[in-house]
Amino acid sequence: MRHLESFKVEGKNSMQYWTAIRNPLRVCLNFAVIYTCRFLPSLRLKNALYRLLGIKVGKDVSVGLMAMFDIFFPELIEIGDNTVIGYNTTILAHEYLVDRWRKGRVKIGRDVMIGANCTVLAGVTIGDGAVVSAASLVNRDIAPGAFVGGVPARELQGGDGP
């Protein structure tokens, strides 16, 4: 289950209205900072810049190179202490559809490991101690301590979880 707010639009597809939904200058700033962070090797600097955008980043969080956070609503993303987000992972807090757009808070617990090349959709919660296998699509809540993987992510047996 995802926890989303939905907003209907009339006429053109919802992405055509993005400038009415978010201030374009703010989106440009968010993009510049988030895109720069994709290449920064310094975890401390990266986390400090994410916090400036409103992302709630816990202590000792490690975000891998090329990770991409939502540029429209970064303030809806929360990452718990001691979490690892793998290389080239995307975390979204919004989605544009043809006749509506939606947004939802993404809560990633503490001691979570998200593998490389994952996508986390808007409105999901990943519980403390969960492990998300590489190349997974997280489109629903993940229980604390669960080991999940696949497209869409589902519970797996075994693994090298905590």
C-alpha distances (whole Å) from 108 to each of 27, 86, 105 are: 23, 13, 10
* Whether 116 contacts 87, CB under 8 Å: yes
Other C-beta atoms closer than 10 Å to the C-beta of 81 total 14
**Nearest-angstrom CA–CA distance, 46 and 31:** 14
* Whether 100 contacts 116, CB under 8 Å: no
Tell me the CB-side half-sphere exposure of residue 69, using CA atoms within 13 A: 34
Question: Among this protein's residues, is 94 annotated catalytic?
Answer: yes
**Nearest-angstrom CA–CA distance, 64 and 127:** 20
Q: Which of 79, 36, 28, 35 has the alpha carbon at shortest distance from 57?
A: 79
What does the block give as tokens for 29?
Answer: 């700033």
* Residue of 47, 85, 94, 148 marked active site: 94
Catalytic residues: 94
